[in-house]
Structure 1
Amino acid sequence: MFEAVISAPEKGHLADYIPALANQSKNLFAVYIIDEKGEVLTFGDFKGVLTLQSISKVMSFIVAADSLGIDQVLEKVDVEPTGDPFNSIVRLEVAEKGKPFNPMINAGAITVASLLPGDTVEARVKSVTDFISQVTGREHSVNQEVFKSEMETAYRNRAIANYLKANDYLRGTVEEALETYLQLCSIELTTEDLARLGLFIATDGLLLTVTENKNLITRKTARYTKALMMTCGLYNASGKYAATIGIPMKSGVSGGVLCTVQNGQIEHLQGRMGIGVFSPMIDEIGNSVKGMDFLQRISEHYNLSVF
C-alpha cells in the first residue's frame, strides 16, 4: 500500500506562496501510526521535520478551550462548516456580526490565537508549544525562517485580522493576534509527533505514559475538537473526505495530516490510534495529494470510517 502511493504519478504543487515552504523536497513521504498500547507502524523518514501550518489550529483550539472553557471560546467563534477556502473573507461579511464560522479556517484561528492564555505573543505561543511538548515528550519551537516568510506575505491574513478587530472578535491588537497565529503555524514537529497528538485526541485527552495515565484536557474539549476535525479539518474538501475516509483529520499546507482513529485495526495495531502523514505536494485546496491518497486506501482496506 505504501509502495502504491509512492509510485503513483507526481501530482500537486508545493505551497510556494509561502516562500520558505517552496524549498521542501517534492518526494518526501512519511507515515507513523501508533495505537493505545504503544505499538507502531512506520514508513519513510518519520523523524523528518515539518511545520504545523493549519494543523496548529487544532492545538490552539484545545489550549484556548481548556483554559477559558468551551462556552467562552464559542462567544468569539462558531463551530459551523463553511464550504469556503481556508483564507476566505466573504463569510465574515455575511455572518451575523462578522463572527468566524469555525476555528479551522484562518479567521477563526486568528481569533482563537488572541484568546490563548498569556499577556504577550511569546506567552501565548509558549502555552501551545508547552502543550505539544507534554503530549509528544519532547521540546518544540518555532521555525523562525518560516515565520518570517509568512509575516512578509500575510496581506490577506492581516485584512482578516483587521476585520475581526473591527467587529470586536480579537483580544489585544491586530499585530499581536496575527503574529501569534503565524508563529503557531511555524511550530516544527515530526510525523511521529503528529501521530502522538492524534492518539491523544483519540483517547479524549488521556496522556499515556510508561508510569501513569492522566487526562490533560476535558472530554468536552476533546469531543468538540474531533467534531471540528471531521467537519472542518480539510478545508472545503471536508465533506468529501468525511464520506470517503470517515475519520477526524486536520491538514496543513506544508503537507502534514493529523488523524485520529476511535477504534480500528491496522495490521498488528488495534483500538484507538493516531496517524501522522507527511507529503508536501498539495492539491488546489491545500491538502497533501499523496497523504490523502494513502489515508483513503487504508480507510477502505481496514474499514476505519466511523460511518
Structure 2
Amino acid sequence: MACKSVKELQEFVEQARSVTDKGKVATYIPALGKENPSDLSIAIQYPDDTCISAGDIEKKFTLQSISKVITLALVLMDRGFDYVFERIGMEPTGEPFNSIAKIEGEQARPLNPMINSGALVVTHMIKGNSVEERIERLLSLICEMANDKEIEISNEVASSEFETAHLNRALGYFLMEHGLIKEPIEELLDLYTKQCAIEMNCHDLAQLGMVFAMDGINPISGKQIIPKDIARICKTFMVTCGMYNESGRFAIEIGIPAKSGVSGGIMGAVPGKFGIGIFGPSLNKIGNSIGGIELLKLLSNKYQLSIF
C-alpha cells in the first residue's frame, strides 16, 4: 500500500511538525542558519507520474550530503566498481559524518562514501578537465533524473560553505598526505561545496528518489539513467550509512533506503514503488531532519514501507 490521499499526507505533516521545536537549524554553514525551523514539506512521486504532496513543496533547499549518493553513482559509471572501492570502504561507521577518527589507521582509507572523508575522495574521482566541467556533468545527471532542466547551484550557500569548510580542508589535506587526493585542495573544495549547494524542491527530490526506487530507470522518460547494479549499490549505502550515525535506528524504525542532508532534506526510495522528497530544516543532534524522520515514521508505520 501507499499513501494516495493529500488530506492524510497533510495531517501527517502537521502531526510531525509538532516535534520541530526540539531541533535546531544548521548554523555552522551561515547561509543554512536563515531557514525557518518549523518548515516541513513532503512530495511522493509515483512511477505513473502521479505526485502527491503536502506543505510548501515549492520551497527550494540545497542537497548537501544527499548529493553524495548521486555523485557516487556518477563516479561508479565513470570509474567502475574496483577503482572506486580500492580507495573507499563499504562499512558503516558509528562516528559523526565529519569525523577524522576512523581514517587514522594504517590504511587511511575512508570507511564509506557517505561520510565527508569518503565523499571528498568520491568527488575527486569525477571526470573532467575543470571544476566547471565536472560540476556540470553532475548537474546534468541530476536534471535528467528529476526531469527538470532548471535545477541550479545556490551560489550563496556554496560561497558560505566554502568559506567555513575548515574541517573539510583538514580532511582533504590528510587524504592528500595518504595519496587518496591528487588535486589542489581548494579546487576540490570548490567542486565539493558546489556539489552540496545544488538546489531543488521536494518534488525534484522525490523524483531523484523514484529513479533509485525503480533500479535506475526514470519511468517518466523510460530511460535507464543509472545502471541497475549501481542503483543497487547506492540504495545499499543509503540503508547502511545514509542517515549518518543514526542509520541503524532508522533502518529498524522506518526501514527504507534514505539519505539526509544538513539543509533538512531527506531523499527516500521505496524499492519498486515510489520516491520521497522531504524538507524540514530543524535538525536533531545527529544532523537529520527531526520533523522529516517523524513524518517517515508515520508513513512507514501506516503503510508498512519497511523493506525488512
TM class by smaller structure: over 0.9
Q: Compute the displacement of 1:220 (Å).
A: 1.3
Look up the SS of the partner of 1:97 in the other structure: coil
Percent of aligned pairs with the same residue?
40
Partner in structure 1 of residue 293 of structure 2:
292
Which of 114, 118, 125 aligns to 2:124? It is 114
Letter in 2 for 1:238: S
Which of 191, 201, 215 aligns to 2:224? It is 215
Q: Is the 8 A contact 1:235 1:285 kept in 2?
A: yes
1: CA distance, partners of 2:237 / 2:223: 23
Letter in 1 for 2:137: S
Partner in structure 2 of residue 269 of structure 1:
none
Letter in 2 for 1:15: A
Q: Structure 1 residues 186-195 or 168-177, which shifts more? A: 168-177
2: CA distance, partners of 1:185 / 1:146: 9
Which of 22, 44, 51 aligns to 1:33? It is 44
1:153-302 aligned within 5 A:
153-209=164-220, 212-263=221-272, 272-302=273-303
2: CA distance, partners of 1:183 / 1:9: 28
Look up the SS of the partner of 1:41 in the other structure: strand
Letter in 2 for 1:91: K
1: CA distance, partners of 2:72 / 2:20: 36
Q: Compute the displacement of 1:152 (Å).
A: 1.2
2: CA distance, partners of 1:262 / 1:234: 17
Look up the SS of the partner of 1:47 in the other structure: coil
Residues 67/43 of structure 1: CA separation in 2 closer, same or farther (3 Å cut): same
2: CA distance, partners of 1:185 / 1:262: 25
Are 2:21 and 1:10 equivalent residues in the alignment?
Answer: yes
Q: Structure 1 residues 275-284 or 73-82, which shifts more? A: 73-82
Q: Is the 8 A contact 2:112 2:118 kept in 1?
A: yes
Q: Structure 1 residues 225-234 or 113-122, which shifts more? A: 113-122
2: CA distance, partners of 1:301 / 1:256: 22
1: CA distance, partners of 2:259 / 2:186: 26
Partner in structure 2 of residue 268 of structure 1:
none
Are 2:160 and 1:146 equivalent residues in the alignment?
Answer: no
- Please list every run of at least 4 consecutive aligned residues from structure 1 whose deviation after the TM superposition is greater than 6 angstroms: none
CA deviation vs aligned residue, 1:93-137 (integer Å, no higher than 9, x gap): 02x420111110000111111100102111111111000111112
Q: Is the 8 A contact 2:239 2:247 kept in 1?
A: yes
1: CA distance, partners of 2:155 / 2:198: 9
CA deviation vs aligned residue, 1:3-37 (integer Å, no higher than 9, x gap): 21124462100101110011111221110001111
TM-score, normalised to structure 2, is: 0.93
Letter in 2 for 1:250: K
Partner in structure 1 of residue 9 of structure 2:
none
Look up the SS of the partner of 2:180 in the other structure: coil
Which of 44, 64, 88 aligns to 2:55? It is 44
Letter in 1 for 2:183: G
Look up the SS of the partner of 1:253 in the other structure: coil
Look up the SS of the partner of 2:43 in the other structure: strand
Look up the SS of the partner of 2:107 in the other structure: helix
Q: Compute the displacement of 1:171 (Å).
A: 3.6
Look up the SS of the partner of 2:271 in the other structure: strand
RMSD: 1.2
Are 2:66 and 1:55 equivalent residues in the alignment?
Answer: yes
1:80-119 aligned within 5 A:
80-94=91-105, 96-119=106-129
In the comparison of the two structures, how many residue pairs are matched?
Answer: 296
List alignment gaps of at least 5 residues for structure 2. 1-11
List alignment gaps of at least 5 residues for structure 1. 264-271
Q: Compute the displacement of 1:2 (Å).
A: 2.4
Q: Is the 8 A contact 1:115 1:171 kept in 2?
A: no
Q: Compute the displacement of 1:143 (Å).
A: 0.8
CA deviation vs aligned residue, 1:28-80 (integer Å, no higher than 9, x gap): 11100011112222101111100011111011111111111122111211111
Q: Compute the displacement of 1:142 (Å).
A: 1.4
Q: Is the 8 A contact 1:113 1:124 kept in 2?
A: no
1: CA distance, partners of 2:102 / 2:32: 28
Partner in structure 2 of residue 136 of structure 1:
146
TM-score, normalised to structure 1, is: 0.94
Q: Is the 8 A contact 1:114 1:176 kept in 2?
A: no
